[in-house]
Structure 1
Amino acid sequence: MTGPQPPSLQIERQEADAQAPVRVRLEGDWSAAALARSGRLEALARAQAAAGPSAAWDLSGAARLDHLGAQWLWDAWGRRWPERLEATPAQRAMLERVARWSTLPPPPASGWLPGVRRQFLRLGAGLFLVADHLRDLLALVGQLALDLLALLRAPRMGPWRDVSGHLYRIGATALPITALVGFLIGVVLAYLTSQQLKLFGAETFIVNILGLSLIRELGPVLAAVLIAGRSGSTITAQIGVMRITEEIDAMRVMGIARGFRLVMPRVIALAVAMPLLTLWTTIAALIGGMLAAEVALGLSPAYFISNLPRAVQASNLGLAMGKSLVFGVLIALVGCHYGLRVKPNTESLGAGTTASVVTSITVVILVDALFAVLFKNVGI
């Protein structure tokens, strides 16, 4: 038993008379199965366009014509009957049925009101999305608080092995990159500052500028941005892969609380690691600034170290450590939040990881601005 014949168009031209109308003959099986199997719809459309609007159509050679084939022909004719058409009664009945129930697409809306309506609906969709994120994040924070209370009641039952593992991966492995970036930032900042201080003969004030800017602001923010891009994305990817491979569903079936074993260890690890990484990054930046100050201004490292405690109050270091702890908790919460929202496909994993990094960095900058406003009189 042979399968359906592929659909085809045969264009017949009378070479003796160039003004004579073109005759288009249909051959093969014009059914849904044949059209889908042939993959020649674009070639058929080009042949139909070459025939022109005044062509005479002969459908008698088509072995079969179903609703899909009739719909294609009706659209190819511009949703109007051709001037000359040869078809069997069954084919004509099919075409009449398609012509009766086919509707034209709605015309595009014009004017400023439809555009305003689209923007309003887009704004509403964005607000609903933000509200959905805030609801899930609030639930995550509440569950974290309950898990911390449970940990305080029974410390021996805590996931300390997971905490130590995350401390190593988040903190210890980030020491080289944070030190390198901090050192280079200190060198650049000291070199650019020294060029301006030379103009006013205030070279000694470079200790005040570098100490206050690096200890109070740049050290915590720089470390947080690096950890947000490095470890925040890792947290989202790890939990997202667990969502895709249904490991989180398996944990739920086995009665393992995902907040206690997935979220809380990462939050604790980042809360502990961020202040230490901030201190490490700040020290590296100060060393870079101190060496650059010696090269550019001739200030010895001994002078820099001896004047740093007098130039920068200790409260600035305490403020930096407090900010770093908050940054670590927020980065962990944002990474876990987007990881738990990953859908079971790779596209959602990539989008969630990207959104996690961008959101973490944005949250760090916003919270740092909030700290700057609230504690503007501390250490200044």
Structure 2
Amino acid sequence: MPPATSPAEASAADSGWPRVGQREQEDRQWTVASGRWTTLAMSSKPAWQALDESLKAAPPAANRAWDLRPIEQLDHIGAQLLWEHWRHEWPATIELSPQHKAVLDQVAQYTVATPDEPSPSLNDRIREFSHNGPRAMYVMRDFTALVGQLALDLCRLARAPHRGPWRDFSGHLYQFGATALHITALVGLLIGVVLAYLISQQLRQYGAETFVVNILGLSLIRELGPVLAAVLIAGRSGSAITAQIGVMRVTEELDAMRVMGIPHGFRLVMPRVLALAIAMPLISLWTSMAALAGGMLAADAALDISPAYFLSALPRAVPISNLWLAMAKSAVFGILIALIGCYFGMKVKPNTESLGRGTTSSVVTSITAVILVDALFAVLFKGIGFRA
């Protein structure tokens, strides 16, 4: 074990620490610096903490004078500390020895104060927009090119159906549609139960229990069913589309397809878009049916509305035009989700970090697009599907 430090040795070591004291002289506050202002003396943690506390007690001021004559040693680190504390300006009154002044003069000569960054001007803002603005235009250009290529591929398929990628189409239709039925049915059922219980609490207060059929039917068939199914498919299939195409970019399969003359749009984009355009309305209808089943069971338990009455009153409460509207916008949702997934998959760079970032961007963009398009449908078709 190292020998214990005696109180006399500790006091002798403390006497060499850099210190700052205060004294009043001639109606002026003097700050007196003493000790050894060297790197070695300030290297210990107690010495640095004591110096930091004493410097905070002596902030720079116009009427404060400094006396540096008691300083035993001063190197460039100590001088730099004093110069920074003075905010790169000499005190109005200072007393110091010539050798200390030489060190401080050298530090002051080669220390340049960092100026405050000015606020950006209008010209700077315009220049920044000129650099960042075209990025959104490039995205619009590339996405429009993807949509245009899809239209050309559909014309090519109509002209020669026997050369279409029907095997890829059937595989994607199974993957995006059949394998998603269980999760969409479960979520739809739970949403229907929760919504029916919440509505029943309010309708019971006004004796309007029978209107639960109208509210559940319109909300689930027209809005919640398609949107809920689209959000689930965007997180499930949209991310899978981006990941599949992105992995092909990482493994250079896309480059190999280009070398062999296989068009990306005809073999990769078009089958996925067609599969989701067909599967999405069916998934939306399936989700709405599951939600209505859950709402019907909850209405029977909470409001004593029998399933027979629920099923008989539903066609009268919800016109069939709501179903066609829901399936039409579900097809639009499917096309958007597939296009966005393919776009971000094509933009993946050949590294795993870009693959993860592209998959996340694909899901977020797809969900945002679904909500925006649903709001657009609600505004454009606000007079359709309601009883007069």
Q: TM-score, normalised by structure 1?
A: 0.73
Given that 1:55 and 1:84 are in contact with CA atoms closer than 8 Å, whether structure 2 keeps it comes out as no
CA deviations 1:138-181 (Å, max 9, x no partner) are 00000000000000011010001001111111111111110000
Where does residue 380 of structure 2 map in the other structure? 374
> What is the SS of the residue equivalent to 1:220?
helix
C-alpha distance 156-299 of structure 1, shift in aligned 2 (>3 A): same
C-alpha distance 83-251 of structure 1, shift in aligned 2 (>3 A): farther
Where does residue 242 of structure 1 map in the other structure? 248
Distance 1:56 1:363 in 2: 61
Distance 1:364 1:269 in 2: 17
Given that 2:38 and 2:73 are in contact with CA atoms closer than 8 Å, whether structure 1 keeps it comes out as no
Residue pairs, 1:63-102, within 5 angstroms: none
Where does residue 312 of structure 1 map in the other structure? 318
Distance 1:121 1:351 in 2: 28
Question: 1:207 aligned to 188, 209, 213, which one?
Answer: 213
Question: 2:175 aligned to 169, 175, 178, which one?
Answer: 169
C-alpha distance 53-223 of structure 1, shift in aligned 2 (>3 A): farther
Residue pairs, 1:1-380, within 5 angstroms: 54-55=74-75, 107-110=115-118, 113-114=119-120, 123-380=129-386
Given that 2:38 and 2:74 are in contact with CA atoms closer than 8 Å, whether structure 1 keeps it comes out as no
Given that 2:37 and 2:74 are in contact with CA atoms closer than 8 Å, whether structure 1 keeps it comes out as yes
Percent identical among aligned pairs is 66
Distance 1:274 1:243 in 2: 27
C-alpha distance 104-272 of structure 1, shift in aligned 2 (>3 A): farther
Given that 1:232 and 1:360 are in contact with CA atoms closer than 8 Å, whether structure 2 keeps it comes out as yes
CA deviations 1:243-284 (Å, max 9, x no partner) are 111110110000000000110000000001000100100000
Distance 1:198 1:254 in 2: 68
Structure 1 residue 116 displacement after superposition: 6.6
Distance 1:230 1:119 in 2: 40
Distance 2:287 2:319 in 1: 19
C-alpha distance 56-367 of structure 1, shift in aligned 2 (>3 A): closer
CA deviations 1:291-350 (Å, max 9, x no partner) are 000000000000000110011000000000100000000000000011111111111111
CA deviations 1:156-209 (Å, max 9, x no partner) are 100010011111111111111100000011001111001111111110011000
**Structure possessing the higher radius of gyration over alpha carbons:** 2
Distance 1:127 1:22 in 2: 54
Counterpart residue type for residue 171 of structure 2: G
Given that 2:213 and 2:314 are in contact with CA atoms closer than 8 Å, whether structure 1 keeps it comes out as yes
Given that 2:36 and 2:73 are in contact with CA atoms closer than 8 Å, whether structure 1 keeps it comes out as no
Given that 1:243 and 1:340 are in contact with CA atoms closer than 8 Å, whether structure 2 keeps it comes out as yes
Given that 1:21 and 1:56 are in contact with CA atoms closer than 8 Å, whether structure 2 keeps it comes out as no
Distance 1:369 1:134 in 2: 21
C-alpha distance 347-121 of structure 1, shift in aligned 2 (>3 A): farther
Counterpart residue type for residue 366 of structure 2: S
Decide which moves more: 342-351 or 201-210.
Answer: 342-351
C-alpha distance 291-141 of structure 1, shift in aligned 2 (>3 A): same
Given that 2:296 and 2:310 are in contact with CA atoms closer than 8 Å, whether structure 1 keeps it comes out as yes
C-alpha distance 250-307 of structure 1, shift in aligned 2 (>3 A): same
The number of residues matched between the two structures is: 312
Distance 2:286 2:223 in 1: 14
Distance 1:130 1:352 in 2: 16
Structure 1 residue 125 displacement after superposition: 4.7
> What is the SS of the residue equivalent to 2:242?
helix
Structure 1 residue 114 displacement after superposition: 2.1
Q: TM-score, normalised by structure 2?
A: 0.72
Taking only aligned residues, the RMSD between alpha carbons, in angstroms, comes to 3.5
CA deviations 1:95-144 (Å, max 9, x no partner) are xxxxxxx996963413xx32777665555554322111111100000000
Structure 1 residue 351 displacement after superposition: 1.1
User: 5+ unaligned residues in a row in structure 1: which ranges?
Assistant: 1-14, 25-51, 58-77, 86-101
C-alpha distance 20-279 of structure 1, shift in aligned 2 (>3 A): closer
